[in-house]
Amino acid sequence: MIKIAIDAMGGDHAPKEQIAGALLALEKIDDIEITLFGDREMMKPFLKDHPRLHIVESDGVIPMGEKDPIQAIRSNRKSSMAMALTSVRQEEQDAIVSSGATQALIAGAHILVGRMKTMKRTAIAPVLPTALGKPFILLDSGGNIDIKPEFMVHQAHFATVYAKEVLGVEKPTLGLINIGTEEGKGRDIDNEVFALFKANPNLNFIGNVEPKDVLTPPCDILISDGFTANIVMKTIEGTARGMGAMLKEELSKGILGKLGLVLSLGNLKRFKRRMSPEEIGGAMIYGLKGVVIKAQGSSKAWGFYNAIRQAANVVRQDVIHKVSTIIEAEAKE
Amino acid sequence: MIKIAIDAMGGDHAPKEQIAGALLALEKIDDIEITLFGDREMMKPFLKDHPRLHIVESDGVIPMGEKDPIQAIRSNRKSSMAMALTSVRQEEQDAIVSSGATQALIAGAHILVGRMKTMKRTAIAPVLPTALGKPFILLDSGGNIDIKPEFMVHQAHFATVYAKEVLGVEKPTLGLINIGTEEGKGRDIDNEVFALFKANPNLNFIGNVEPKDVLTPPCDILISDGFTANIVMKTIEGTARGMGAMLKEELSKGILGKLGLVLSLGNLKRFKRRMSPEEIGGAMIYGLKGVVIKAQGSSKAWGFYNAIRQAANVVRQDVIHKVSTIIEAEAKE
C-alpha cells in the first residue's frame, strides 16, 4: 500500500475540496491509503467512511502569503501542513499532497522532510499543459535564486526520471530557456549550463529554447534558474488569465455574439480545461527525502485528486531512488 | 515637417505593406514627409504619387535571422535599412521605421545612428496591450545582458518621458518585474535597482510587480534587465499564440460549436485585434541620437502605419531631448 498524507486544511476551498479529492482518489486508485491531517470538526460535514481513509487531528493552519514561511512552520508544528510533512519524515507516510502556502510548504519540506543527500538544492517543477496535447515540466519555478550549474544538472536528472516514470515519456528531452536558440546566447550561467547539459550522456539535451515556444515546446522539460523559470511560469499565468478575461468580455458583446457564446459554451469549457494545469496534477518539489506535491491553492476536488494520483505514481515508480542512483554514479566518474 | 525614413524592403510582407502603411500615414498625418528606401522596380506596383512622398534607391536587404548582425550591416551599406539609418544620422531624416531583422536594426542603429551622450546602453521598449484597455511599456526587451543599475535608471527616465509625451499618461508609473511583490525579493541587481528607483524623485516607482499581472499591470511601465524582460516578452507571445491556436481548434468542434463560431466571428476578430501590439505601434529603441522604431516583422499596412504615427509623435514631442535634459540634470546633482 502507498500511504499518502493530505494537508486537509490548506487551500482556498479547504477542507471540502481536499476531502472530496481524497475520496475520489480512494475510489479510483486501489493501492493507496490516505491519511487526512486536519480539524475533525471542520472536516466532519465532508467525511465519508472508507476502509483506507484515516484521520489525524491537527491544530491550526499555515496562513497563505505568510511573510516569514520558516517562522510560520516553526511556530505551527501542530498545523495540518507541519504534521503531514513530519509524518513523511518519520516514514509513516510515503508522500504528502498540500494546497497550502507554497513558500511555507517549501520551507517546511526543508525543515521537516529534509533534502536528498545527492541534491544540494530543491526545485519546484509544475507540469504544464501545451497546445500540442502533451504536457511539459517547467523548472525551477520556485524562485530559488542561489543556483550553480551543477545543481541544475541534478534538477535536470530529476525531471528526466520524472518525465519517464510518471509522464510515460520514453526518452524525455530537455531544453534550456534562453533569449535565442543559438549556442552562446544568454548569460554566463546559461552558457555554463549549456556546456554541462551537452556533455552529459544521461540527458537528452536539445539546446536553447525561446519562450515564444512555451506552449508548443520542442521538448518535454524546460529548465532555467529559479528566478527565470518563476518569471516564465508567472508570465504564462498572467497572459492566460488576462486573455481569458478579454475573451469573455469580447465574446459576450452584441446579440449575435451572445447567441454564438451560448452555442460555443461546451467548446469553451473544453478549451478552459485544456489550459488548466489541474488536469495534470500539482507541482512536485524535487530534491527532498520524501515525495512532496504542491497542488494549486485554488484546487477543486478533481485537481486535488490529480495531485494525489501523481503522488502515488511518483512513489510507485520509486522516482527519488532512481534519481539518486544516477547522480551518485555520475559523482563517482 | 517631420521627416520619416522608411526601410521599405524589411519585413515579411515588404515592400507592399510598408508602402501601403506609408501612404496611409501621409493621408492621415499632415505634418509628415516620408522617404521610402528601397528597390524602385520592386516598389513600383504599390507606389502612388504623393507630394510628400520621396524615394531613395537602395540595393539589397538585410536578411532575417542573420547570425552576425554587425557584419550584416557593415557589408550591406547600400541596403534599405543601412541607408535609412544613415539618413537619420546625417539629419536628413528625423526618424526611421523598419520591419526588418531586429538584431540587425539594433546593431545598425548603434553603428550608423549612434548613442545618446547621456545613455550608456540602448533598450528596446515595445508598447503592449493589456486587458485593462490601456497599454504598457515593457523594457528592456532587447536581450541586452550587460546592464548596470544606473543604466536602468536612465532607461526608466526614457520610458517615463515616452509614456507621458507619446502615450499621453499624465504621471506614468513604473514597476520592477520580480518574483514577488515585497521589497527585498529577487536578485542583487533587482534590489539595487529597487533602491535607486525608490530614491529617484523623477520616477513614480510603485515597487515590484509579479508577471502574473502582466496583462493587468498596476503601472504604465514594466522594467527589468534585457534578459528577463526579453523572456517575459517572448513568454507573453508564446502563451498568446499557443492559446489562440488551442482556442481556434476547440471552437470549431461539433455542429453547435461551428455555428457558435460563425456567430462569434466579429467578436473574435475584435478580441484578436485587442491582443495585437500592432494596434499601438512598434518598439522604440531607446538611447539613440535619432528616433528608431522597430515595427513587427509581420506588419501589415495598418500596423506599419501605427509605427509611423508613433515615430512622428516621438519627434513632435522632442522626447530624446527631454530625456537627456533629465539625465543631465541628475548627473549634476
Domain that holds residue B192: 121-279
* B125 in any annotated domain: yes
Q: How far is A232 from chain B (nearest CA, A)?
A: 6
Residue of A nearest to B145 (CA): A187
Looking up residue A251, the CATH number of its domain turns out to be 3.40.718.10
Q: How far is B123 from chain A (nearest CA, A)?
A: 15
Do A80 and A9 share a structural domain?
yes
- Identify the DSSP state of A288: B
Contacts of A90 (CB under 8 A, 6+ apart): none
**pLDDT tens profile A164-222:** 999 999 999 999 999 999 899 999 999 999 999 999 999 999 999 999 999 999 999 99
Do A72 and A160 share a structural domain?
no
* B331 in any annotated domain: no
Do A213 and A302 share a structural domain?
no
Question: Across chain B, what does the average pLDDT equal?
Answer: 91
Quote the pLDDT of residue A278.
Answer: 67
Nearest to A242 among B216, B245, B261 (CB): B216
* B6 in any annotated domain: yes
Nearest to B227 among A186, A230, A260 (CB): A186
Separation between Cα atoms, residue A272 and residue A243, nearest integer Å = 11
Residue of A nearest to B180 (CA): A143
Mutate to test the interface with A, among B134, B263, B265, B273 (most CBs of A within 10 A): B263
Q: How far is B51 from chain A (nearest CA, A)?
A: 41
**pLDDT tens profile A48-95:** 999 999 999 999 888 877 778 888 888 889 999 999 999 998 888 999
Contact check, Cβ <8 Å, B179/A234: yes
**pLDDT tens profile A275-322:** 676 667 789 999 999 999 999 888 899 999 999 999 999 999 999 999
By DSSP bridging, strand B95-98 and strand B2-7 are parallel
* B263 in any annotated domain: yes
Nearest to A238 among B179, B212, B275 (CB): B212
- Under 8 Å between Cβ of B274 and A246: yes
User: Strand (E) positions, A106-246?
Assistant: 123-128, 136-139, 173-177, 204-209, 221-223
User: Strand (E) positions, chain B?
Assistant: 2-7, 32-38, 53-57, 95-98, 123-128, 136-139, 173-177, 204-209, 221-223, 283-286, 291-294
Q: Which of B252, B272, B270, B254 is nearest to B262 (CA)?
A: B252
Quote the pLDDT of residue A298.
Answer: 87
Quote the pLDDT of residue A279.
Answer: 66
Report the percentage of chain B scoring pLDDT > 90: 70
**pLDDT tens profile A73-82:** 888 899 999 9
* A327 in any annotated domain: no
- Under 8 Å between Cβ of B309 and B32: no
Quote the pLDDT of residue A70.
Answer: 86
Contacts of B125 (CB under 8 A, 6+ apart): B137, B138, B139, B140, B141, B155, B158, B159, B162, B283, B284, B285, B286
From chain A, the residues in CB contact with B240 under 8 A are 239, 243
**Residue B279's pLDDT band (boundaries 50, 70, 90)?**
low
> B183 in helix, strand or coil?
coil
Report the percentage of chain B scoring pLDDT > 70: 98
From chain A, the residues in CB contact with B134 under 8 A are none
Quote the pLDDT of residue B187.
Answer: 93
Do A234 and A259 share a structural domain?
yes
Q: Which of B22, B25, B30 is nearest to B80 (CA)?
A: B22
Quote the pLDDT of residue A304.
Answer: 95
From chain B, the residues in CB contact with A297 under 8 A are none
Quote the pLDDT of residue B191.
Answer: 96
Separation between Cα atoms, residue A204 and residue A198, nearest integer Å = 8
Quote the pLDDT of residue A75.
Answer: 87
Lowest mean per-residue pLDDT among A1-5, A115-119, B148-152, B249-253? B249-253
> Own/partner pairs for B245-249, CB < 8 Å, 24+ apart?
B245/A131, B245/A215, B245/A216, B246/A131, B246/A215, B246/A271, B246/A274, B246/A275, B247/A247, B247/A271
Phi, psi of B43 (to 5 degrees): -80, -30
Do A270 and A138 share a structural domain?
yes
Do A258 and A133 share a structural domain?
yes
Q: Is the pLDDT of residue A127 over 80?
A: yes
Quote the pLDDT of residue B147.
Answer: 86
What is the CA B171 to chain-centroid distance, rounded?
21
* B329 in any annotated domain: no
Do B138 and B198 share a structural domain?
yes
Do A260 and A224 share a structural domain?
yes
Q: Which of A332, A6, A271, A294 is nearest to A131 (CA)?
A: A271
Report the percentage of chain A scoring pLDDT > 90: 70
Do A258 and A130 share a structural domain?
yes
Question: Across chain A, what does the average pLDDT equal?
Answer: 91
Residue of A nearest to B252 (CA): A267
Q: Is the pLDDT of residue B250 over 90?
A: no
Contact check, Cβ <8 Å, A260/B260: yes
All three cell numbers of B279, joined, read 494596434
Q: Is the pLDDT of residue B278 over 70?
A: no
Contact check, Cβ <8 Å, A241/B215: yes
Separation between Cα atoms, residue A21 and residue A304, nearest integer Å = 5
Find the helix packing angle between A226-251 and B255-275, rounded to 10°: 120
What string of DSSP letters covers A89-128? HTTS-SEEEE-S-HHHHHHHIIIII-B-TT-SS-EEEEEE
Contact check, Cβ <8 Å, A254/B267: yes
Contact check, Cβ <8 Å, A235/B236: yes
Q: Is the pLDDT of residue B146 over 80?
A: no
Do B267 and B310 share a structural domain?
no
Separation between Cα atoms, residue A83 and residue B282, nearest integer Å = 54
> A21 in helix, strand or coil?
helix
- Under 8 Å between Cβ of A22 and A6: yes
- Under 8 Å between Cβ of A101 and A63: yes
Do A263 and A164 share a structural domain?
yes
Q: Which of B162, B8, B100 is nearest to B298 (CA)?
A: B100
Quote the pLDDT of residue A37.
Answer: 97
| Mean pLDDT value of segment B310-330 | 95
Do A216 and A294 share a structural domain?
no
**pLDDT tens profile A250-263:** 777 777 777 777 77
Lowest mean per-residue pLDDT among A145-154, A256-265, B196-205? A256-265
- Identify the DSSP state of A224: -
Mutate to test the interface with B, among A64, A208, A243 (most CBs of B within 10 A): A243
Q: How far is A325 from chain B (nearest CA, A)?
A: 33
Quote the pLDDT of residue A68.
Answer: 84
- Cβ–Cβ pairs < 8 A, chains A and B: 194
Q: Which of B225, B236, B213, B231 is nearest to A228 (CA)?
A: B231
Quote the pLDDT of residue B125.
Answer: 94
Quote the pLDDT of residue A290.
Answer: 95
**pLDDT tens profile B81-129:** 999 999 998 888 999 999 999 889 999 999 999 999 989 889 999 999 8
* B326 in any annotated domain: no
State how many domains chain B has.
2
* B172 in any annotated domain: yes
**Residue B249's pLDDT band (boundaries 50, 70, 90)?**
confident
Lowest mean per-residue pLDDT among A97-106, A276-285, B225-234? A276-285
Cα separations in angstroms, A62 against A89, A92, A102, A202: 19, 22, 10, 39
